[in-house]
Amino acid sequence: MDIEFKLKKTVLEAIEKLYRQTVDEKSVQIQKTRKDFEGDFTLVVFPLLRVSKKPPEQTAEEIGNYLKENVSEIHEYNVIKGFLNLSFDKSFWISYLESVAQDDHFGFISNKENPKTILIEYSSPNTNKPLHLGHVRNNLLGYSVAKLLETQGDKVYKVNLVNDRGIHICKSMLAWQKWGDINSYLDWCINNTDEIVEKIRTLVKQNIFNYCKRIVLSYKNGNIGRSIDENYKQEVIGLYEKTKSNKNPINQLVNILENHEIYLKDSKNYKLLKRRIDKQKRELEFRNEKIEPKTSGKKGDHLVGDFYVKFDQEYKKQIGSLISEGLTEDEAKQTAPLILEAQKMLIDWEAGDKKTRELWKKMNSWVLEGFDVTYKKLGVDFDKVYFESDTYKLGKKLVLEGLEKGMFFKKEDGSVWADLTDEGLDQKILLRSDGTSVYMTQDLGTAHQRFSDYNATEAIYVVGNEQNYHFQVLKIVLAKLGFEWAENLYHLSYGMVELPEGKMKSREGTVVDADDLLEEMTRTADEMSRELGKLDDFSNEERKKIIETIGLGALKYFILKVDPKKTMTFDPKESIDFNGNTGPFIQYTYARIQSLIKKAHSNGLDIPVGLNSKINISGKELQLIKLIHTYPEVLAEAATDYSPAQIANYIYDLAKEFNQFYHDHPILSESNRSISEFRLYLSKEVSKIIKSSMGLLGIQVPERM
RNA sequence: GGUCUAGUAGCUCAGUUGGAUAGAGCAACAGCCUUCUAAGCUGUGGGUCACAGGUUCGAAUCCUGUCUAGAUCACCA
């Protein structure tokens, strides 16, 4: 039986015996004793004064006495103000640790009686541009929450809904049709260098610390790194000379450089890009063809994204000239020829026009191939992928049925609306006057389809909080249509990701691209490990695997440790920090323990099957066992709150606690064999929990690093 | 303007069924590698928990108001 439950029960019993009264279970507050006090569990007695009619100290004493006599595990107790602190016998904790070790799925619930069937939708990309940092948060959250829910014994299906139709897709298609020949495209790439410079600025900024460090280190060693821009190098070295008398010259240097634009002079990446484009142009100039992923050397999603940007640029131009002809902004936006063409294309698409469909198929397949690469690198997957192009018609059908039954109404122009004024909301459009679907239409259809596909009890949508209103409406409309499961829709509404400079804006080139980001993280992990000389004796293959694990771990942890509901700031510089509260810190702790176990093994010291319950354990060791004790509880809470952040915080506490223990407790060199074995045993359990909990975040742990 | 969310150390974040002296990391400064991985550990400084009221034995946490920031209220998705 759970020990906290047992305590609670005995306290209720004590009150009955001592004061001849009963109290609400809620008034019995048992919590973990804070670190700075003696004890394992604490009973807060204030709420009980009502029935004891005695001062807090006396009440606590009386209950403490009763508990000590009736709960065998309690070793002693103390009273401070209104707090009754209970200490358990150390052997209790040691045997608890043994029970944890014997449990192969510690903290996880298996064989649940009535498991729920939960659908979780995440990712939901649009097929008109590549994935960016915002999608990364979405994907990591969705994947991790799915794992969290599984720990509670429920059946979970991960689904993706690809938004592959709609006006935005038509925009990319149209732009490709108009300006997709190889020469125009390559010209456009070159003229767009401003955006590329912005991108490089972000990249270099992410990398500035390691970059400067490398220059300074090679300078100190008397080497000259050849790949580094000469002017830039001279400036860095000059600044270093000025700051080197400081304690941390490199940090000082970085601080100076951050407020200094000189890193932009390192335009190596920029030049390379430009040269590559030029070369391509020369090679392809005489081919009268349309650009494709193959010829452009770009991933399909990136190529299509370029045309989305191109559309926007041309559209803006048209709006501008219409406004100068005297139209208002709104008028201009609605009547610009390009947007009309795009709208026409959407109608053609819905009508099943063969040419439009073919173009659409081709470009979509490019994008989807690109997404698959990104998903794979991110380590996320799905049980089923839905396509909006398959489901939107079902939505249309539902709306028309609802219209017939009088649940919705039609306006004069033919558009269909839901009246939600009774719910305190506005009217909401469900079908356009030209009969085409809107976002809401297809979401109605998809919801219906997936519930029947899986006979699900619950559906979770991992979607940003900018769509709170949409989901509020979705639930109401589904309920109006008479679906009972409508109330089991849950919108896991996560906060936006912002950069230190502010919000990401695709038009200003401040979007952090997912593929770039992943590459950058691995590169940083590589540089770090080289500087520290950590992986020198590894083969290239092993090395590659480890740095990928670390780079990805850093990114995932950085994003997941923040409460999903909150808007978060993504500072590239902090994200590549591998010290402190970071993924690599935890991975390192794990690797350390593995190395310890290996070494023990080769010294002939094996992890014992059982423990000697009489050994004396230190406060830190006790602390660790108690922390392990809370793991199942943490899992349950994280699952009900859909919050991987709670797991992340827990793992950090555990790793930190372990490192402190590791620092001042000899393990292999401990002469008392029982103690040495106990410490090894404890270490192994800690590492098992690290591995299991990191797995829930989708983060792998390396055996060595 | 209506609705919703947030505001905790210089920065990024923890801290909920209301409990003891509000915690970490980064940044700064001072230390610890002939000893199990120093991607580690220890210490110092840093706070009017946005502000003002209220509820009570007790409030960062609950309520009300104010200020600030963001989201949303589209025949965009």
Could you read off the pLDDT of A360-384 as tens digits, one per residue? 999 999 999 999 999 999 999 999 9
Tell me the C-alpha distance between A476 and A578, whole Å: 46
Phi, psi for residue A410 in degrees, rounded to 5? -110, 135
| Minimum-distance nucleotide, CA of A30 to C1' | B19
A306 CA → B51 C1’, Å: 48
Structure tokens at A153: 């014994």
**A204 or A517: whose pLDDT is higher?**
A517
* B33 closest protein residue (CA to C1'): A663
pLDDT at residue A298, as a whole number: 87
A471 CA → B61 C1’, Å: 28
* B57 closest protein residue (CA to C1'): A46
Phi, psi for residue A121 in degrees, rounded to 5? -100, 130
A471 CA → B65 C1’, Å: 31
| Minimum-distance nucleotide, CA of A254 to C1' | B27
pLDDT tops 70 at residue A219:
no
Lowest model confidence (mean pLDDT) among A289-298, A357-366, A401-410 = A289-298
Positive or negative, the CA dihedral A589, A590, A591, A595 is: positive
A651 CA → B23 C1’, Å: 16
**A674 or A272: whose pLDDT is higher?**
A674
Q: Within 13 A of A630's CA, how many CA atoms are on the CB side?
A: 20
A375 CA → B63 C1’, Å: 46
pLDDT band at A220 (very low <50, low <70, confident <90, very high): low
Tell me the C-alpha distance between A228 and A225, whole Å: 6
| Minimum-distance nucleotide, CA of A81 to C1' | B20
Tell me the C-alpha distance between A374 and A639, whole Å: 27
* B12 closest protein residue (CA to C1'): A569
A410 CA → B74 C1’, Å: 18
A29 CA → B54 C1’, Å: 26
Helices (H) and strands (E) in chain A, counts: 27, 15
DSSP letter assigned to residue A34: P
| Minimum-distance nucleotide, CA of A676 to C1' | B36
| Minimum-distance nucleotide, CA of A427 to C1' | B73
Phi, psi for residue A68 in degrees, rounded to 5? -60, -35
- Number of residues in chain A: 705
| Minimum-distance nucleotide, CA of A468 to C1' | B72
* B21 closest protein residue (CA to C1'): A36
pLDDT at residue A163, as a whole number: 92
A518 CA → B64 C1’, Å: 48
* B32 closest protein residue (CA to C1'): A663
* Packing angle of the helix pair A631-640, A133-151 (nearest 10 deg): 120
| Minimum-distance nucleotide, CA of A333 to C1' | B76
pLDDT tops 60 at residue A420:
yes
pLDDT at residue A277, as a whole number: 67
pLDDT at residue A267, as a whole number: 43
CA–chain centroid gap for A284, Å, is 41
Tell me the C-alpha distance between A613 and A28, whole Å: 31
| Minimum-distance nucleotide, CA of A414 to C1' | B75
Strand B, nucleotides covered by protein (CB < 7 Å):
4-6, 11-15, 17, 19-21, 24-30, 35-42, 57-58, 70-77
Tell me the C-alpha distance between A221 and A219, whole Å: 5
pLDDT tops 50 at residue A226:
no
A79 CA → B37 C1’, Å: 43
Non-local CB neighbours of A697 within 8 Å, separated by 6+ positions: A140, A144, A147, A556, A557, A560, A644, A647, A648, A651
DSSP letter assigned to residue A223: -
**Angle, alpha carbons A238-A239-A243 (nearest 5°):** 125
* B17 closest protein residue (CA to C1'): A26
**SS3 assignment, position A425:** coil
A248 CA → B36 C1’, Å: 30
pLDDT tops 90 at residue A562:
yes
Tell me the C-alpha distance between A338 and A171, whole Å: 9
pLDDT at residue A289, as a whole number: 83
A199 CA → B10 C1’, Å: 28
* B38 closest protein residue (CA to C1'): A532
pLDDT tops 70 at residue A450:
yes
| Minimum-distance nucleotide, CA of A80 to C1' | B20
| Minimum-distance nucleotide, CA of A431 to C1' | B75
pLDDT tops 90 at residue A426:
no
| Minimum-distance nucleotide, CA of A426 to C1' | B73
DSSP per position, A200-213: HHHHHHHHHHHHHH
A564 CA → B67 C1’, Å: 26
pLDDT at residue A533, as a whole number: 83
| Contact status, residue A34 vs residue A44, Cβ threshold 8 Å | no
A250 CA → B32 C1’, Å: 22
pLDDT band at A216 (very low <50, low <70, confident <90, very high): low
Q: Could you tell me where the DSSP H helices lie in A561-672? A: 572-575, 583-602, 619-629, 631-640, 644-664
* B37 closest protein residue (CA to C1'): A592
pLDDT at residue A213, as a whole number: 57
Tell me the C-alpha distance between A440 and A476, whole Å: 12
Give me the amino acid identity at A616: N
Q: Which of A200-214, A244-258, A666-680 has the highest mean pLDDT?
A: A666-680
Q: In what order do the strands lie in the sheet with A502-503?
A: A502-503, A497-499, A568-569
pLDDT band at A582 (very low <50, low <70, confident <90, very high): very high
Tell me the C-alpha distance between A412 and A405, whole Å: 18
Q: How far is CA A375 from CA A131, A150, A395, A443, A641, in A?
A: 10, 21, 28, 23, 25
A466 CA → B20 C1’, Å: 41
A660 CA → B43 C1’, Å: 14
* B74 closest protein residue (CA to C1'): A429
Pairing mode of beta strands A117-121, A155-162: parallel
- Report ipTM (2 d.p.): 0.96
Mean pLDDT of chain A: 87
| Minimum-distance nucleotide, CA of A50 to C1' | B57
Q: In what order do the strands lie in the sheet with A409-410?
A: A409-410, A416-419, A427-431
A422 CA → B33 C1’, Å: 71
pLDDT tens per residue across span A146-189: 999 999 999 999 999 999 988 889 999 999 999 998 888 888 87
The stretch A224-239 carries a mean pLDDT of: 54
pLDDT tops 80 at residue A555:
yes
| Contact status, residue A457 vs residue A118, Cβ threshold 8 Å | yes
Tell me the C-alpha distance between A273 and A122, whole Å: 34
* B23 closest protein residue (CA to C1'): A653
| Minimum-distance nucleotide, CA of A579 to C1' | B39
pLDDT tens per residue across span A25-77: 888 999 999 988 889 999 999 999 988 889 999 999 999 999 999 999 999 99
The stretch A442-465 carries a mean pLDDT of: 94
A17 CA → B55 C1’, Å: 33
